[in-house]
Amino acid sequence: MARKLSTRKRPERSEHMLKEQLKIEEGIFDRRTMMSLWKMFNHNIITKMDYLISTGKEADVYLADGGSQINFDFVALKIFRIETSDFGKRIDYIRGDPRFEKVKKDTLSIVTTWCKKEYGNLKVAELAEIHAPRPYYCNGNVLAMEFLGDSNGAPAKRLKDVVVDNPKEVLDTILEDLRKLYELELVHADISEYNILMWNGLPYLIDFGQAVVTKHPRAMDFLERDAANILEYFSRKYGVVMEHEEAMHRIMQKKD
């Protein structure tokens, strides 16, 4: 009697490799995060996770190898923490944004909305053609985006950790990028020397999760704070002085 063959699909070798690698990460990633990473792999966004390149209060960033859908060797994976996060303090950046009016207040909903929000804001930044990482894919609490760094996988350094040779030009570039964002009705809302990377001699804005549309009730407050923060930094570190009113005028000025 012939033996009946199993109809169960065998896992592909590439899926098996990722499964084995993710075993190493057990205890670091929860089940929801693991499922999001699987989807990144199955959509050919990544082929392998490499190592941690940055840690923050609410998220960690990992270097990963790019898949066939990405035209670059590396991808930056921003993984927002779910169980240990304190996103309740960030609700002001969501409440009042017409894009996310019906968000539930439980931690999981806030975290996944924050991830989706950063992806959407990065799409606006890409449309504005400013210096910012390009977004590739978003699922659950994991965001895949352009890796800013060298060909060996070393990440770009934060503005606060370098000394630039042309501080006035760097400040001008930052203000111009904020203007381009504002022209597309978006305010970054967390500009500082910590949220800007220097790559190929140019400042790249990062951490767009808190960015709000100009219709947000606190958008102008956030814009005023962004300008004040970056002017204070360049004045303190480089002696580059600009009046707050001038910076605001440059940001809010429309150009043909």
Angle at 128 between CA 122 and CA 131, to 5 degrees: 70
Note whether 20 and 139 are same-domain residues: yes
Q: Tell me, what amino acid is at 22?
A: L
Note whether 90 and 135 are same-domain residues: yes
Domain boundary among 126, 146, 166: 146
Note whether 141 and 222 are same-domain residues: no
Note whether 202 and 128 are same-domain residues: no
Average pLDDT over residues 95-102: 73
Phi-psi region of 187 (alpha: psi -120 to 50; beta: other; left: phi over 0): beta
Q: How far is CA 19 from the centre of its chain?
A: 26
| Total domains present in the chain | 2
| pLDDT above 90 coverage of the chain, percent | 69
Q: Please give the torsion angle defined by the CA atoms of residues 118, 120, 102 and 96, in that order, rounded to the nearest 10 degrees.
A: 70
Active site residue 221: no
Note whether 196 and 227 are same-domain residues: yes
Question: Is a pLDDT exceeding 70 seen at residue 22?
Answer: no
Question: How high is the pLDDT of residue 256?
Answer: 67
- Give 71's pLDDT tier (boundaries 50, 70, 90): confident
Structural domain includes residue 2: no
Note whether 129 and 208 are same-domain residues: no
pTM for the model stands at 0.86
Q: Using an 8 Å Cβ cutoff, are 107 and 32 in contact?
A: no
For residue 224, give Cα distances in angstroms to 96, 159, 176, 189.
18, 20, 15, 9
Note whether 36 and 71 are same-domain residues: yes
Q: Which of 97, 177, 190, 226 is catalytic?
A: 190
3-state class (DSSP) for residue 12: coil
Q: Which of 207, 221, 226, 256 is catalytic?
A: 207
Active site residue 50: no
Structural domain includes residue 165: yes
Place of tokens 């017409």: 98
Note whether 135 and 30 are same-domain residues: yes
Note whether 126 and 218 are same-domain residues: no
Domain boundary among 117, 146, 175: 146
CATH classification at residue 21: 3.30.200.20
Taking only the tens place, the pLDDT of each residue in 139-177 is 999 999 999 999 999 999 999 999 999 999 999 999 999
Note whether 163 and 138 are same-domain residues: no
Note whether 235 and 172 are same-domain residues: yes
| Strands 196-199 and 157-158, bridge-based pairing | antiparallel
Note whether 20 and 87 are same-domain residues: yes
**Structure tokens belonging to residue 216:** 């947000």
Taking only the tens place, the pLDDT of each residue in 165-224 is 999 999 999 999 999 999 999 999 999 999 999 999 999 999 999 999 999 999 999 999
Domain span including residue 68: 15-146
